[in-house]
Homo-oligomer: A and B are copies of this chain.
């Protein structure tokens, strides 16, 4: 742990290195012999199999002198300041982007050579195996002065191996951006299309939150305001434009070198970004305007980027299952996987995908923004100072960890899951979610409106006021987790599958990445599965978008996935309502999984 801190890598730790919170897990990859032996604390924390795999607690394992040890830090052990970087580092595809740069050496038109200016480039590219079908009109407009400026040689920026977008100097940066347009959060990745490397990441709150927390409230706003659609669409695209600029500034690149952007998002975000009036999503049968892949010029959406820059939007599946869900399934490889697996992308809308024997069922459940810290008294998004992990010791003393170790200023989603799980575990909350006071200590106190648990005392918080989690907050969380649990139940029923068949649970979403899995299972939000079947994949919608940005094959796969997905309607389903009501409470505590 000290070595990690010295290297600027902040590990999750609630107990401050006392060996009681079990959060600072690492996996030793090489040089494990140089470490002190596995301690009793670690044996209590890990299964034999996990110890065999190299699992250690960073606070317990020490390096015996000067030695090289390689450890992997699992996502769940990484702290917030490390988040975006971790999420943005890998894109599991072979590099084959739609946009490529092809070196050419053209011979100017003349007798016996090309007759027209564009033919000189077409002929040169033909030698490189590229047959141009279409020259973008703006490219054609500039082709003569461009060629003169370049001395008739340089690189042709080509889309899909057939469409000439621009002519540039050799080695000009060739950039692409992938966007995950979430209901609450927008995330963007700037990639080098020559290497596939992520050059920068950026995120911001979706400006549409001004018009409603969730999809339905924004659709109501649009229905009630004549200018509503234009406002939401323009502010969303404005944010996208800002993020292009932000990402480029981070690494000293120019937005004029961005040649392709890939969008994923739920169906409403898709429609607003592409300028499609989404009112049909607001009432039954919740029909999207289109489910097709959209490919339009960035400038037709008012986005300023490189000449010819294209926007590629993954297909939607239904009114409430959008391109983000397709990107999730793509990133998880659900189109190439055998057996049965479940994917949960937790957010304000939670997307669910169930794979069984090559068939894909999908649903979307309105879990609401509680996981993002909204509608929670001291809730906040997962930013510096947010209480992200909480544990109670046997004497009910609260131990907590904030993002970046900054003074606490609120509680983010993963913190609220921990609080509820710990309160139930320690008997301070009953199965219906009612808080209990205790004579023994002052954890649960009478707040202004209702009972509340004091998580951070006034003296420790940034605002010098106590940070609490209330009875009402519990209700919000119950509704959110019940929506997820009921959705999973319906999907499993539809696929006629049972828990035992599920060989993998893929948990996605920024929230899903940092949440304590055992606690999420403990409160009945996620099905109770052995942890070694659980994979936390971070922002996999963003990963799917990056995959499509880097790989034409991934684009084809995404189309096939969308066509294959069977949409299961939850809204208005009586079966779902019943499952939802069953899921509101908390199951009896079952202890850690083997």
Contacts and interface: CB of A to CB of B under 8 A. Distances in A.
Contacts of A111: 285
B277 A144 contact: yes
Nearest to A316: B116
A290 B118 contact: yes
A392 B137 CA distance: 56
A116 B285 contact: no
B109 A292 contact: no
A289 B143 contact: yes
Given A141-B275, A280-B144, A119 B291 contact: yes
Nearest to A286: B109
Given A141-B275, A144-B279, A279-B144, A110 B291 contact: no
Interface string A249-288: 0000000000000000000000000111101100001011
Nearest to A142: B277
Contacts of A288: 115-117
Contacts of A135: 290, 292
A137 B276 CA distance: 9
A294 B292 CA distance: 27
Nearest to A278: B144
Copies of this chain, whole number: 2
Interface in A125-147: 135, 137, 140-145
Contacts of A141: 275-277
A292 B163 CA distance: 14
A115 B287 contact: yes
A274 B115 CA distance: 19
Contact of A287 (B117, B276, B287, B292): B117
B116 A290 contact: yes
A285 B110 contact: yes
Contact of A109 (B143, B274, B287): B287
A556 to B, nearest CB: 16
B318 A115 contact: yes
A137 B289 CA distance: 11
A290 B137 CA distance: 11
Contacts of A275: 137, 141
A4 interface: no
A41 interface: no
A291 B144 contact: no
A287 B318 contact: no
A280 B117 CA distance: 8
A557 B119 CA distance: 21
Contacts of A119: 290-291
What size tier do the contact residues of chain A reach? Answer: 35 or more
A469 B406 CA distance: 96
A300 interface: yes
Interface in A282-329: 285, 287-292, 294, 296, 300, 316, 318
B115 A289 contact: no
Contacts of A145: 277
Contacts of A116: 287-292, 316
A291 B135 CA distance: 12
A110, A135, A142, A277 pick with most chain B CB within 10 angstroms: A277
A114 interface: yes
Nearest to A143: B289
A552 to B, nearest CB: 18
A114 B289 CA distance: 11
Nearest to A113: B285
A289 B121 CA distance: 11
Contacts of A318: 115
A294 to B, nearest CB: 8
A274 B135 CA distance: 13
Interface in A520-571: 567
Given A117-B289, A287-B117, A291-B115, A109 B280 contact: yes
A30 to B, nearest CB: 51
Contacts of A110: 285, 287
A554 to B, nearest CB: 22
A567 B137 CA distance: 26
A355 to B, nearest CB: 21
A326 to B, nearest CB: 14
A120 to B, nearest CB: 8
A166 to B, nearest CB: 15
A494 to B, nearest CB: 15
A285 B109 contact: yes
Contacts of A280: 109, 117, 144
Nearest to A118: B290
Nearest to A133: B292
Contacts of A279: 144
Contacts of A276: 140-141
A292 B118 contact: yes
Residue picked from A119, A279, A316, most chain B C-beta under 10 Å:
A119
A140 B292 CA distance: 11
Contacts of A108: 287
A171 to B, nearest CB: 26
5 contacts: A111-B285, A115-B288, A135-B292, A137-B300, A145-B277
- Which 8 pairs of residues, A with B, have the shortest CB-CB distance? A109-B287, A118-B290, A116-B291, A116-B288, A110-B285, A117-B289, A144-B280, A116-B290
Given A109-B287, A140-B274, 16 more contacts: A109-B280, A111-B285, A114-B287, A115-B288, A116-B288, A116-B289, A116-B291, A116-B292, A117-B290, A118-B291, A118-B292, A135-B290, A137-B300, A142-B277, A144-B277, A144-B279
